[in-house]
Structures are given as C-alpha cells and as structure tokens.
C-alpha cells in the first residue's frame, strides 16, 4: 500500500492567480463606464445649450412677428385717421 500526501498549500500556489485578473477586469469596466458617463454628461450639457439657443431663437422670432403685426395695425390706423382729416 502506497500513501500519497499532497500539500494544499502547494496546490493553491500552482493555480492561476484569478484575483489579479478580476481586479484588471473590474478596473477596465470601471474605466469604460466612467468614459461612457462623461460622454453622456457632455451630450446632456450640449442638449441643454442647444435647447436654450432654440428657445431664444423662437422667442426672438415670435416677438418679431408680434412687432410686425402691431406695426401694421398702427400704420393702418394712422392711414385711416389721416384720410379722415383731409
């Protein structure tokens, strides 16, 4: 009868060190997610700036339309009152 003794410490040393692989994978995923988050934040900021510019343009054009209509009404009124005076 032959007895073989195996040291568990020796077996553990021969296994690949998965903690460093896990750590590298975690760091890679964290870096990728940080890059994605930064890109989304820049896009969100760009959307906010674009929306603000569009709102300003809309309000300016709307006000120009109101001014033009008001000018037409005033001009028409002045033309009618000028005819009545003659």
Summarised one tens digit per residue, pLDDT across range 55-75 is 999 999 999 999 999 999 999
Percent of the chain with pLDDT over 70: 74
Does residue 7 form part of some domain?
A: no
Does residue 76 form part of some domain?
A: yes
How many domains are there within the chain?
1
Does residue 27 form part of some domain?
A: yes
Residue 68 C-beta-side C-alpha neighbours within 13 Å: 6
Does residue 60 form part of some domain?
A: yes
Does residue 13 form part of some domain?
A: no
Does residue 48 form part of some domain?
A: yes
Of residues 14 and 36, more confidently modeled: 36
Does residue 14 form part of some domain?
A: no
Give the C-alpha separation, 24 to 16, whole Å.
14
The pLDDT value recorded for residue 77 is 93
The pLDDT value recorded for residue 37 is 95
Domain containing 51 equals: 21-85
Does residue 44 form part of some domain?
A: yes
The pLDDT value recorded for residue 3 is 57
């Amino acid at each position: 009868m032959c007895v073989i003794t195996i040291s568990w410490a020796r077996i553990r040393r021969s296994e690949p060190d998965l903690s460093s692989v896990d750590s590298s994978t975690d760091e890679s995923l964290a870096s990728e997610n940080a890059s994605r988050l930064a890109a989304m934040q820049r896009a969100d900021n760009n959307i906010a700036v674009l929306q603000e510019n569009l709102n300003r343009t809309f309000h300016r054009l709307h006000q120009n339309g109101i001014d033009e209509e008001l000018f037409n009404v005033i001009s028409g009124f002045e033309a009618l009152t000028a005819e009545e005076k003659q």
